[in-house]
Amino acid sequence: MVAFTKMGLAASALLSSAIAHPGDSHEQKMHEAMRNHATAYKAKSALDACASDSQHQALMARNVQRRAEQAEALRQKRGINVSSKKLRRDLATLEAFEAVNHNMTGKLNYDPNTPEFLIFGANTSSIVTPEITDGPYYVTGEAIRKNVKEEQYSDGVDLYLEVQYIDINNCQPVPGIYVDTWGANATGVYSGISTDGNYAADGYDSTYLRGIQPTDKDGVASFETIFPGHYEGRATHTHILAHMNVTVFPNNTISSTNNITHIGQVFYPESLRSAVEAIEPYASNTQAVTSNDDDMWSIVQADTYYDPFPEFIYLGNDVSDGLMAWIQIGVNTSANYIDGDYYSVAAQLWADGGHVNSDSSFGGGGEMGGNGTMNGTGSAMPSGSAVPSGAPSS
């Protein structure tokens, strides 16, 4: 069975919990969220106008074919041969989506003969506002790789995540964006960091569930990752961050002197999280759960004016068979948030391993130089100087 539904995605600021995101100001984040809402609404209106554009319509048709083929390839790889049963939910705000019994709202059951367009043609055209923080666990110098799972600390429910970027100014896909992704493992621990609230095995030298992919001619970057585990103070989420105008080094990493055109976080419905976390090793996660409703920033970003939820399917009868998810995001390609208050680098991965960025502070880049060196002096080794240790191939 393939079950089709929606996942909550919002560009979210982090909570004021000291464990989750130290240094947050409730009033500051509320002010920023409301300002960003207005920006997002204007951008969503621009994307809505793309529907009548012939080139955009051709892109949508390619999306259908690509997603259908990818879903079938994933199913074959896993040996899933049961008949497909599709499930579709209406668009909803996050609050409605998380409401009791909402999973019976607008539900349609499709048989195996349902046209692919109805399943894989769905696009949320989300505006995931870029002015929101990347959080305290962002690491530069990660490897370009599609598969970010590693032999250790990456057990969990497989998630194939497709992110597509559309230029809100011309309705065209944006190729050449390098998309950074990172997320907690099944027990709620991020790699690349070893600090209060997040003591990763192998500490700053670890790289599991982190990686970078470029967008293709259709503006699509895809990752083979896992459904993230929860940790105290935040709703379950996966980070994405978009770079433009990058330099690719021979060692399979990118420069950090580039435009940051988008920062976002993918959220997931409680029903899906509960289903996933009934499975080991998620079931061994002893950290307190924070729901989407209690993570106020995901609520603020959800609005009836624009849809913050990407689509997903179960690849088989059970969530343990894996998930495929996709989201279409509108971006302003001229934007650059690398010097903004919400871009913060916690650590850097160099040839000799990971190094904490001691000058970084949450809510800003501290004195981090734009070229990936400490204090902007150029005296430290650039993040792309050699192949990161322990980085597997894609």
Helix, strand or coil, per DSSP, at residue 88: strand
pLDDT tier, 310 (very low <50, low <70, confident <90, very high otherwise): low
Mean pLDDT of 185-205: 92
Mean pLDDT of 377-385: 29
pLDDT, residue 196, reads 83
- Mean pLDDT highest for which of 52-66, 99-113, 132-146, 234-248? 234-248
Residue 219 to residue 117: CA distance in whole angstroms: 19
The letter for the amino acid at 378 is: G
pLDDT tier, 312 (very low <50, low <70, confident <90, very high otherwise): confident
- Mean pLDDT highest for which of 144-153, 236-245, 260-269? 144-153
**Nearest residue to 176 (alpha-carbon basis) of 229, 226, 242, 125:** 242
pLDDT, residue 2, reads 57
The gap from C-alpha 151 to its chain's centroid, in whole angstroms, comes to 22
Mean pLDDT of 91-119: 45
The letter for the amino acid at 208 is: Y
Query: Is the predicted pLDDT of residue 62 greater than 70, yes or no?
Result: yes
Alpha helices, H only, the chain: 26-48, 54-77, 94-98, 116-120, 270-276, 296-301
Q: For 184, how many CA atoms within 13 A lie in the half-sphere containing its CB? A: 27
Residue 356 to residue 330: CA distance in whole angstroms: 33
Query: Is the predicted pLDDT of residue 124 greater than 80, yes or no?
Result: no
pLDDT, residue 329, reads 84
Mean pLDDT of 142-158: 97
Taking the CA atoms of residue 147, residue 189, residue 187 and residue 128 in that order, the dihedral angle to the nearest 10 degrees is -70
* 190-203 CB burial, b ≥16 within 10 A, e <16: bbbbbbebbebebb
- Looking at every residue in the chain, the average pLDDT score rounds to 74
Residue 70 or 310, more confident: 70
Q: Which domains does the chain have, with CATH numbers?
A: 26-356 (2.60.130.10)
Mean pLDDT of 371-388: 29
**Nearest residue to 15 (alpha-carbon basis) of 291, 375, 309, 328:** 291
Query: Is the predicted pLDDT of residue 377 greater than 60, yes or no?
Result: no
Cα angle 142, 176, 72 (rounded to 5 degrees) comes to 85
Contact 80, 316 (CB under 8 A): yes
Tokens linked to 83: 């008949």
Query: Is the predicted pLDDT of residue 126 greater than 70, yes or no?
Result: no
Mean pLDDT of 9-15: 34
pLDDT tier, 4 (very low <50, low <70, confident <90, very high otherwise): low
Query: Is the predicted pLDDT of residue 243 greater than 70, yes or no?
Result: yes
List Cα–Cα distances, 169 to 12, 172, 200, in angstroms: 23, 8, 41
Query: Is the predicted pLDDT of residue 321 greater than 60, yes or no?
Result: yes
**Nearest residue to 119 (alpha-carbon basis) of 165, 87, 74:** 87
Residue 327 to residue 159: CA distance in whole angstroms: 13
pLDDT, residue 27, reads 58
CB atoms within 10 A of CB 16: 16
Mean pLDDT of 47-52: 76
Query: Is the predicted pLDDT of residue 112 greater than 70, yes or no?
Result: no
Q: In angstroms, what is the C-alpha Rg of the chain?
A: 20
Tokens linked to 26: 């409730």
pLDDT, residue 297, reads 57
Contact 122, 7 (CB under 8 A): no
Query: Is the predicted pLDDT of residue 24 greater than 50, yes or no?
Result: no
Residue 316 to residue 3: CA distance in whole angstroms: 8
Q: Range with the lowest mean pLDDT among 240-249, 340-349, 359-368?
A: 359-368
Mean pLDDT of 247-276: 88
Residues 6+ apart with CB under 8 A from 358: 374
Mean pLDDT of 242-270: 88
Query: Is the predicted pLDDT of residue 56 greater than 70, yes or no?
Result: yes
**Nearest residue to 157 (alpha-carbon basis) of 272, 61, 58:** 272
Residue bearing tokens 């209406």: 90
CB atoms within 10 A of CB 224: 18
pLDDT, residue 118, reads 63
Tokens linked to 218: 């259709």
Helix or strand run (H / E) with residue 329: strand 323-331
Query: Is the predicted pLDDT of residue 99 greater than 50, yes or no?
Result: no
Contact 125, 48 (CB under 8 A): yes
Query: Is the predicted pLDDT of residue 222 greater than 90, yes or no?
Result: yes
Residue 327 to residue 124: CA distance in whole angstroms: 6
Residue 2 to residue 315: CA distance in whole angstroms: 5
Tokens linked to 129: 């506002």
Strands 323-331 and 158-167: parallel
Mean pLDDT of 252-270: 85
